[in-house]
Amino acid sequence: MEIQIVNTLPSETEAIIYLFRQGDTLSDQLSVFTNAAFLKQDFKAEAKQVITLYENDRKVYLVGLGKNPREADFIKILRSFFYKQKRSLPNLVALDLMAGAIEKEWVEVITNGILLGDYDLDLYKTTKKEDLNFFEKDTKLQFIIADAAVEAAVQQVHRGEEIAFTQIRIMDLMNAPSNKKSPQSLAEWATDSGEKYGYSVTVWDEKQCESEGLEALLAVSFGSRNPPRFIQLEYKHPNANKKIGLVGKGVTFDTGGISLKQSANMHYMKSDMGGAAAVLGTIEAAAKLQLPVHLIGIIPATENSIDGLATKPGDVVGSYSGKTIEIIDTDAEGRVILADALSYLVRNHQPDTIIDLATLTGSCVAALGYSAAGMFTDNDQLAQELYESGQQTGEKLWRLPLWDDYKEDVNSDVADVKNFHGKPFAGAIVAAKFLEVFVEEHPRWAHLDIAGTAFGDSEFGTMKSATGYGIRLLLCWLQERH
């Protein structure tokens, strides 16, 4: 499928799509259609509402956007429409971005949503649908745009395509089961991406992790036959003037270890590398788009499994920082591996800003549900920046406290810190306080707990699946602030 930018409706177009907002002008906009009286009664332009009709020997789709659509709304609505229609669309389709007064700024997210409509979850099905869909055939999708906006639209289409292609790769990675995904496969994904898009990747195996003192990462990996990997990525544009550190939790499967999880939803723990996925996707997309930024990505990758060598509750382990950690709960492993990654980043790269992302706590899901991730930072400016980017992209954040009132909950009698406070409340906050110990008072650090947003229910499958959360959020923040 090829996207083209045109300024008039080609005569050979077989179908045309119109996008409409709810509002006072909707009735006037519908007046141009033959059956306007009926349309005005039936079509209210509610979000995802679709009406199909025929005009001038063409199939016409009217798609509702709701009252005040934002980036996330355009993406969700266009993804839904093309996902449902991709096997019935003809070979030449036009999308009229003038009739519904759609501003040129939305071209990128419209493109992004359309291409995500091609994504299917059938990664390992042996029987595929025989007929090719709209995205797989030699088809054309033409955006009808005013002359003055054509040049900008071409650039926005390119950006929307590149981000969508990376999001799809990341969703494949997250949706892969643990027998198809390991710490080594994350390292290979990063290496292949770096070679293709021009950024550097360094991978340490378990022996290098041991020689470098990554004792916390190694402690979590002891129960698995798949050894850990410490993945370091660097993308540097020649015009960059700030260094941004991104850290992502890369647990490719989490049994909980000796503190075993309940079996009911354990199969979803293949998604416990959602933070790593966000970092991988952000750096790949930034490199593809040649954003003028300098990014350092750190991904501690491991499995949290069980055997006779697995770390046990009550064990005390070391860390890259030199601090000792008492393991109260082996299912609080994400913060333990992040401890090594954060310390390593601070001491070896001295970034101007640090953002870590992790599917860290059920407590954050209990507090915020599936609509927003938890944000923890003592830097008000950074908090506002990230909040605004989340509001713009729809990958929302809500700030939770990082007060020292909770500091005593990570104090240990036998070690420098403990990894779990053992109480049925404030779990996300205490996890953030634990991580704070290892950023060594960095003035611009934010921790994003994405447990409720990285993997969830959708109309595109019967089970939970990857959302790609964090990529658009971070790209927006990088573009707006750096």
- List residues forming the annotated binding site for Mn(2+): 249, 254, 272, 331, 333
Place of tokens 């290892």: 438
Name the phi and psi angles at 229, rounded to 5: -135, 140
**Annotated binding residues, as ranges?**
249, 254, 272, 331, 333
Contact 398, 375 (CB under 8 A): yes
Place of tokens 């994003």: 448
Q: At what angle do helices 150-175 and 107-116 cross, to 10 degrees?
A: 30
**CA-based angle 414:415:419, to the nearest 5?**
115
CA distances from 88 to 19, 85, 133, 134, 340 (A): 19, 5, 8, 8, 51
Nearest residue to 117 (alpha-carbon basis) of 466, 464, 468, 460: 460
Nearest residue to 245 (alpha-carbon basis) of 194, 295, 170, 317: 295
Chain centroid to Cα 90, Å, comes to 32
Nearest residue to 9 (alpha-carbon basis) of 141, 110, 144: 144
Per the residue annotation, which of 48, 261, 407, 481 is the catalytic one? 261
Whether 261 is a known active-site residue: answer yes
Provide Rg for the chain, Cα atoms: 24
Whether 140 is a known active-site residue: answer no
Pairing of strands 316-317, 325-326: antiparallel
Per the residue annotation, which of 270, 335, 433, 472 is the catalytic one? 335
CA distances from 56 to 42, 88, 99 (A): 21, 19, 16
- Helices of type H across 31-149: 36-42, 71-85, 107-116
> What is the C-alpha separation between 291 and 293, in angstroms, rounded?
6
Catalytic residues: 261, 335
